[in-house]
Amino acid sequence: MIKVQNLHKKFVNGKNKIKALNGLSFQANDGEITGILGPNGAGKTTCLRTLYGLLKADEGQMIIDNIDVATQAIQARKQLGIFPDKFGLYERLTAYEQIDYFASIHGLQGIDKKVAIEQVINDLGMTALAHRKTQGFSQGQRMKVTLAQALVHQPRNLILDEPTRGLDVMSTRILREYLLQFKHNGHCILFSSHVMQEVAALCDRVIIVSNGKLAAQGTPQELCELAGESHLEDAFVKLIGSDEGVAA
């Protein structure tokens, strides 16, 4: 379970102060897929980066499975599988070696590690590219390797920042099935996306973020009812009070 309370974060660039998060609070429950929606610059990525410890919150609390991120960052990260917004690959390693590397970092070893790697490679349909060096991989192939790295240790909580960008239809379907399977196994999934159809189809709960704070939250149906609209996209535009960023 991921719990965010009154999160504040500002960036200072010379004399300019940019308030990226302004008291954001929400909760992502186990056994649910929670989507974060918001226009560009709303604070989604800042929130996720703060959750996995790349940024330090100015104020507020983040709890992952009853572990405070601020005081026990490493313990908290052990509960996470992360798919960040900026991801790169070690281009001199094969896909298998990369997944193996991240599995070892999460403490897997021996036969357990081998089984876990084979499992995730099969699940994501990566067998053909597993033993190829990742240099020259397409965007979709790179995303698959990054996903495999995030999933190999079967984390209790999964944070994904726009995981389907660049994926083809087949890969997107595989990912959706994987996320649903994770959900049914009781894992907590938090992901940001701009694709309304995806959010509507996958998410149990949706958090709409605007100007660094919570604009609305609920199931896709509840949000549509709240805004008095039949489509989530229309409801989203109405709830954030602007059509800025919708086309992104």
Partner 1 sequence: MIQFKALLIKEFKEAFRDKRALMAALLIAFMAPVMIFSISKVAIKEAIEKPTIYAQILGSEFSPKLMDKFKKDKILPISKVPDNEKYLWQDRNIKITIPKFFAKNMFLGKTIEVVLNTDYSDKAMDSSIQRIKKSVDEYSRRIGHNRLLVRGVDIQLLHPVKLIEQDTALLSSNAAFISMLLGIYLLVAAFVSGLPVAIDSSAGERERNVLEMLLCQPIATIKIVFTKMTCASVVAATGVILTLGLTALAVSFVDLAQIGATFSLDFYTVMVLLALLLPICFFASSLQLFFAFQAKSFKEAQSTVTMIIMMPAFIPMALTFINDKPKWLDWMPISGQSLLMEDLFKGIPVNWSVVLFTGAVTLMMTFSLIHATAYRLKSEKAVMALG
Q: Which residues, listed in sequence order, are joined to residue 24 by a DSSP beta bridge?
A: 7
Residue type, 90: Y
Residue closest to 201 by CA, chosen among 171, 245, 231, 159: 231
Site string for partner 1, 10-29 (x = CB under 8 A): -x-x----------------
Order of strands across the sheet that contains 205-210: 80-83, 157-161, 188-192, 33-37, 205-210, 213-218
**Under rule CB under 8 A, residue 101 binds partner 1:** yes
Please select the residue that binds partner 1; options are 30, 58, 65, 97, rule is CB under 8 A.
97
- Closer to partner 1 by Cβ: residue 146 or 210: 146
**Assign residue 91 a region: left if phi > 0, alpha if psi is -120 to 50, beta otherwise?**
alpha
Read off the amino acid at residue 116. A
Which range of residues in 15-23, 35-43, 99-107, 209-217 is near partner 1 by CB under 8 A? 99-107
**Residue 65 found at the interface with partner 1 (CB under 8 A):** no
Nearer to partner 1, 11 or 170 (CB): 11
The residues binding partner 1 (CB under 8 A) are 11, 13, 52-56, 74-75, 77-78, 80, 82, 84, 86-93, 97, 100-102, 104-109, 146, 149
